[in-house]
Chains A and B, each alone.
Chain A
């Protein structure tokens, strides 16, 4: 708890909140543009529209936000070579845990703000379909779970490599790969942590080229995908933490 609180002392003036604010701002503008001109048919599928649009937006933006947050949290230790001092006071695993929890707070806030945005848009535009409370709850949990998995992966890279270009480049490549994986079968998507925004989506689109009308429909939640993601999370967390513990100075 002490180490967790200290993480927030360390990041004063690092403006990490600004990254989250920027993300939310872009998503507000994007979604307002998306719902600005909805007809009755679209309003009838309003919640589905939001829960289809936001995971796509997330696959573009969230991995980059996670990479930047992890990098901002970790590069302060490399710049001033402070890990040497810290590791004489705290066990390495506690430093790792505290950093992850601190980053997770930012990702959780981003996710909650996004869900609030979805609700505000839904009520503001008066979507005519009933609000899928349970699925919005799932959306929050799944999005946070994916964000956390990407965050811990980025944190491992940012802590192990002094040069933050390594972690940021991997994050960027991962983002593009995750985005392209949306066009591939789900079996392939499940091997990429960045592809899980697509795996754990429960809205699909059926577009009719003749009528040029698109219909959004609910699909069952892919629980096996969530289990795979959990395996990824714990594997990355435990292996990454072990590598950090074993790192010598």
Chain B
């Protein structure tokens, strides 16, 4: 799989604080790539550097196989649609007039405006001034603007911000469909793991400016191991029995945690404990959630 964006040793320093540290992103072509991290982790800063809105302190950015610099930046960005932080708009103009500005600057055919308005379902609101739009409608207009000309790469920073639950679902479905329908690569940043889990096939997790995980979402799922939790009336006796029988275990919050076991093996252990009158009161099968893994990786609490 070829990479559409590659960053090497990307750093950004703001007033002596390194906000992005040695970031090595590798984003494959034709996927939805989730860029996940807690608030203030450096997601927007990274995306702004990719789009040339902030200058990297050090490091390289390569898009479509070309190292980006001041001379080729605009030519490369011609194939990129973006929506960073909040949608850019002119409130005194209508939705259609807003899109006409960007359609003219990008030298695209006029019918592109209706096409993208249809995709984001704003065609009935196109004659309305954008200052009268709700935040969700502005967000959709921003997405329509990013979709003008069907770019090869779409960079969306927290695109579901300000949308109602139905709008969030609609936006997620739309993002998911873009690689299949238009062959686009979509980079979506979010601080919501559940969102990325729903729409992305690949992801990068950033924490305090550093990339702590990058790969396919399925490989993150594989990290979530099953285990068995036992609760007894006499844990100290149970511990002694497990130690004597060399059963691997750990103690956590009053539970004895065993690795994932075959049913037959678990049945043997429970029978054994019952025979020793330990008083087994609970057997739970537990699975480490993606949230737990995320917290482990980022080392901090996050909105879920």
Contacts and interface: CB of A to CB of B under 8 A. Distances in A.
Interface in B76-132: 77-78, 80, 82, 84-93, 97, 100-102, 104-107, 130
A87 B52 CA distance: 8
15 contacts: A2-B107, A5-B104, A6-B104, A9-B97, A9-B100, A10-B93, A12-B92, A12-B97, A13-B93, A76-B92, A81-B88, A85-B142, A86-B105, A89-B105, A91-B74
B176 interface: no
A80 B53 contact: no
Contact of A81 (B86, B92, B130): B86
Given A3-B105, A80-B89, A88-B77, 10 more contacts: A2-B105, A10-B93, A12-B97, A13-B93, A76-B92, A85-B102, A89-B106, A90-B105, A249-B48, A249-B84
B90 A85 contact: no
Interface of A: 2-3, 5-6, 9-10, 12-14, 76, 79-91, 248-249
Contacts, number: 77
A81 to B, nearest CB: 5
B54 interface: yes
Contact of B55 (A5, A83, A248): A248
A12 B91 CA distance: 11
Contacts of A87: 52-53
B145 interface: yes
B105 A248 contact: no
Given A6-B101, A10-B101, A80 B54 contact: no
B53 A9 contact: no
A82 B91 CA distance: 10
Contact of B82 (A10, A79, A81, A85): A85
B175 interface: no
Contacts of B78: 89
B90 A80 contact: yes
A83 B52 CA distance: 12
B51 interface: yes
Contacts of B97: 9, 12
Given A13-B93, A248-B55, A249-B54, A80 B88 contact: yes
Given A3-B105, A6-B101, A88 B92 contact: no
Contacts of A88: 51-53, 77, 80, 82
A80 B91 contact: yes
Nearest to A9: B101
A6 B87 CA distance: 19
Nearest to B138: A80
B78 to A, nearest CB: 8
A248 to B, nearest CB: 5
Most A CB within 10 A of own CB, among B88, B102, B130: B88
Nearest to B54: A248
Nearest to A94: B74
Contact of A10 (B54, B84, B90, B142): B90
Contacts of A91: 73-74
Q: Enumerate the 9 nearest inter-chain pairs by beta-carbon distance, A residue then B residue, closest first.
A: A85-B88, A82-B88, A80-B89, A249-B53, A248-B54, A88-B77, A89-B105, A13-B92, A81-B88
Given A248-B55, A249-B54, A82 B90 contact: yes
B153 to A, nearest CB: 11
B74 A90 contact: yes
A84 B53 contact: yes
A83 B88 contact: yes
Most B CB within 10 A of own CB, among A76, A80, A87: A80
Nearest to B80: A88
A54 to B, nearest CB: 33
Contacts of A9: 97, 100-101, 104
A6 B104 CA distance: 7
A6 B55 CA distance: 27
B107 to A, nearest CB: 7
Given A2-B105, A6-B105, A249-B48, A89 B74 contact: yes
A113 B54 CA distance: 43
Contacts of A14: 92
A89 B149 CA distance: 12
A159 to B, nearest CB: 15
B82 to A, nearest CB: 6
Interface in B36-66: 48, 51-55
A188 to B, nearest CB: 39
A84 B101 contact: no
Contacts of B55: 248
B77 A80 contact: no
B278 to A, nearest CB: 63
B74 A85 contact: no
Contacts of B82: 85, 88
Contacts of A10: 90, 93, 101
B218 to A, nearest CB: 32
